[in-house]
Amino acid sequence: MGKQGLAVITGASGGIGAAIATQLSQAGWRCLLLGRDENKLQLLQRTLGGEHQYLALDLTLPGSVQRVMMHAASLGGAALLVNCAGCNEMRSFQSEQLEQIQRQMTVNLVVPMLLTHHLLPQLSSVKGTVVNVGSAFGYIGYPYQSVYCASKFGLRGFSEALSRELDGQVAVKYLAPRATDTSINSEDVRALNTALGNKMDTPEEVAHSFMRLLNSKKRRLVVGFPEKLFARVNGLLPELVDNAIIKQLKTIKNYISCQLNTKESSS
Ligand SMILES: NC(=O)c1ccc[n+]([C@@H]2O[C@H](COP(=O)([O-])OP(=O)(O)OC[C@H]3O[C@@H](n4cnc5c(N)ncnc54)[C@H](OP(=O)(O)O)[C@@H]3O)[C@@H](O)[C@H]2O)c1
């Protein structure tokens, strides 16, 4: 085991991160599992086996990124960084609190950039790989997801620029899942997806796409159809997608109205 080197995986206590860690371990990677929930990390580490390690920490706190870098160095250095930790709070932009905007931008964009920066010397020394887990909402601006979209569009821009900058030195890739069955999605978001007929993948399906991207020369992969097509059309003819999404606004508002009502009555 461990013939592929060390994979540092953020969000390993979550749905997609745990599935990616499982498939990486099956493919011979040694994993350093990161997250905040120590119980979940410990359970996963026990399931995967003794050569894997975990580190429970909040990546937004000062010193956390440095701790990850030192821990990875003590294990021989990272050959793969998977930036999978993320958070998503679907609400109107008007109702966002400053702290909520900062948290989403930090977890989804700033932390992946800082971790990549700190681990780059280790990754470069073995011509390693960074995979940033973005979203279909990193291609398609979606109502009531403005902060999340800003973070995931940003992560995609960062990935693309760095991938071109480090060509031949470190591979930098962007994986864009669509709706996936994990706890990041509230009951309202799940109900909205059902109402709109959006398919929800399993974390294992996303991890399978992750392995395909990792083992290919591709720099980016959007999971699922028609999201793959919408991402391209939105890039070429955003006016067409404007109209299709604006038609959904009434339905979207129905499903977040509960959240709005709760917020309004508590403020
Ligand atoms: N599920 C979807 O529909 C979907 C669709 C497209 C893209 N994605 C992306 O896929 C990635 C994984 O999400 P998921 O669906 O697996 O969600 P999830 O089950 O909620 O997992 C989120 C992970 O991020 C970690 N995390 C959040 N804030 C953190 C912080 N401050 N410090 C350290 N770790 C933190 C969580 O750790 P703890 O649980 O230990 O706190 C957890 O491991 C995210 O980047 C998400 O944006 C998800």
Task: Note the pLDDT tens digit of each residue in 62-71.
Answer: 999 999 999 9
Among 87, 104, 155, 181, say which to mutate for ligand 1: greatest number of ligand atoms within 8 Å of CB. Answer: 87
Q: Of 153, 178, 155, which Cα lies nearest the Cα of 10?
A: 155
Question: Which residue is listed with tokens 């006016």?
Answer: 239
User: Any idea what DSSP says for residue 201?
Assistant: B
- 6-266: which CATH topology? Rossmann fold (3.40.50)
124 C-alpha to ligand 1 centroid (Å): 26
257: helix, coil or strand?
A: helix
Q: Which atom of ligand 1 is nearest to the CA of 136?
A: 6
Protein residue closest via CA to atom 41 of ligand 1: 36
Cis check for the bond before 62: say yes or no (omega within 30 of 0). no
pLDDT of 122 strictly over 80: yes
Question: Is 154 near ligand 1, meaning CB less than 6 Å away?
Answer: no
Mutate to test the pocket of ligand 1, among 59, 184, 185 (most ligand atoms within 8 A of CB): 184
Would you call 76 helix, strand, or coil by DSSP? coil
Average pLDDT on 97-103 reads: 97
What are 239's two structure tokens?
């006016």
Per-residue pLDDT at 259: 56
Domain layout of the chain by residue ranges: 6-266
What is the predicted pLDDT for the residue at 265?
Answer: 41
pLDDT above 80: residue 45: yes
